[in-house]
Amino acid sequence: MSNSFVAGQRLAASRIPGQRLWTVSSTSATAAIGATETVVITSPSSTYVAGGAYTLKFHGMLRPSAATAASAGIQIRDTNASGTVRMLIRQFATPAVVANYDAYFEWTVANTTGSDITGRVLVLTLTGTAAPTYQINAGSPNAPYYLACEYSGLQTDFSEAVAL
């Protein structure tokens, strides 16, 4: 991707690819989450520029409560557990061992509208099963779980992006 500039133009820091828009992290384990989709992480209210693409990154440890092979789902929605889906459920299968399992994903979203989206709040949700339930844990006090959003560039360069 290349950009052209007229002499004297300035590029806002929020439009430099790789620029972190926000990060939400924690080292506290979530409560046990069962079959009811539950908000785990809430982003700050943010502005997404018209025509901009953003990469959402999640990293954490997924822990089942029982030694039963099962899977948990993670989604990104607007505002709360019933908001518009911005990332469909990613199923994380865990074997029949109670342990922390590394979970990581990246997902690209884009503002495909002609104007900035202001005040958008995104949430990461977790859905387990009736048994076992699941928790999201940090790897250690020095390795929190997190959800981060980075400006990636123009949405036209990311055909895989889901509309914000």
What percent of the chain clears pLDDT 90, i.e. is strictly above it? 69
- The whole-number average pLDDT for the span 53-74 is 92
- The whole-number average pLDDT for the span 14-41 is 89
Confidence of residue 94 (pLDDT cuts 50, 70, 90): confident
Range 82-87, long-range pairs (CB < 8 A, 24+ positions)? 83/123, 86/56, 86/122, 86/162, 86/164, 87/56, 87/162
DSSP secondary structure of 68-129: --EEEEEEEEESSTTSPEEEEEEEEEE-SS-S-EEEEEEEEEE--SSS-EEEE-EEEEEE--
Q: What is the pTM of this model?
A: 0.85
C-alpha 40/C-alpha 139 separation (Å) is: 16
pLDDT of 1 higher than 50: no
Q: What is the pLDDT of residue 7?
A: 60
Most confident range (mean pLDDT) of 4-13, 75-84, 134-143 is 75-84
For 111-132, the pLDDT digits (tens) are: 999 999 999 999 999 998 878 8
72 versus 2: which is more confidently predicted?
Answer: 72
Which among 156, 157, 119, 149 is positioned nearest to 14, based on CA atoms?
A: 149
For 127-160, the pLDDT digits (tens) are: 988 788 999 999 888 899 999 999 999 999 999 9
List, in sequence order, every residue forming a beta bridge with 149; answer none if it has no partner. Answer: 22, 56
Q: What is the pLDDT of residue 153?
A: 94
Cα 54 from chain centroid? 10
What's the topology of domain 19-118+126-163? Jelly Rolls (2.60.120)
Confidence of residue 92 (pLDDT cuts 50, 70, 90): confident
Neighbours of 135 (CB within 10 A): 21
